[in-house]
Amino acid sequence: MKILISGHTGQVAQALQHALADHQLLSLGRQAFDLEQPASLRETVLRERPQLLINAAAYTAVDLAEQEPERAFAVNAEAPGAMAKACAELGIPLIHYSTDYVFDGTGTRPYLPTDPTSPLGVYGASKREGERAILAALPSASIVRVSWLYDRDGKNFLNTMLRLAADRDVLTVVDDQQGCPTHAGHLAEDLLHWVDRMIQDPDRTAGLHHYGHRGLTTWHGFATAILARRAPDVEVRPVPTSAFPTKARRPAYSKLDERPFFEALGRESVTWEAALESCLGPTFPLGTPN
């Protein structure tokens, strides 16, 4: 299958390239597939004529988005809408990644795809508009929301903690935001089965879906688990969100209910601790991630 993946260097796009290596992949970066120029995307999709398009690219600078709303909406809303229209024209499926930031974080149980959205900032609002634009143009599209993404490569919480732990004896980490870390590698592997499911039962995979691992923790809990495996002598102290003021508000609770997604696949998800263990592996030394 010829699959076009947008994002190229992002952690999800890179994990997808590895997981989908048996397919004919066309992974396009910003120069060839510029999401800041939504009008140009249709021409590229129609020229390449993929059999599946996976949009793994996004504007993810949550705080900077408050200063650059037009740029965030171009990349996260207008561009996905343009991709969906091109896919509809070709009659091909689309998988698009969205975020827990479409919710306001006031929930007390894992969010279902059908729960009302209420973004706290520009980033979440732009991602929600992207969802709406896609489904308006291509109702059969599969939109997969994820939260707290990390992997062995790229800029993410895991690598930040390991980098800081290489030079410090004490780290302070927020303990009043609850959610579930999501390993990009597991996400990419499970997408293989999701693509098969899309072919077999497109009605079940259409629309909004939540992906993740079992369990709930805080950023402090996640950091503690990381360093217990790689830097046990480093102390991880809990602090409130107010200790790290940011321009954009973060959801206090953003656990996504992944169970319907895995019911569609016919199995259960792994725990977030098991996913972390798999990601770190035995040969991931402290302080060396990219």
Residues across the chain: 290
Distance CA 91, CA 99 (A): 26
| 123 is a catalytic site residue | yes
Token pair in block for residue 200? 């077999």
Token pair in block for residue 162? 């390991």
The residue annotated as part of the active site, out of 123, 150, 211, 253, is: 123
Residue tagged 């390449």 (tokens): 48
Classify residue 134 as exposed, middle or buried by CB count within 10 Å of its CB (0-12, 13-18, 19+). Answer: buried
| Distances 15 to 8, 12, 92, 234 between C-alpha atoms, Å | 10, 5, 22, 29
Distance CA 276, CA 107 (A): 25
Going by C-beta distance under 8 Å and a sequence separation of 6 or more, which residues neighbour residue 271?
A: 213, 214, 215
Distance CA 42, CA 20 (A): 23
Q: What is the DSSP letter of 121?
A: S
Residues marked active site are found at: 123
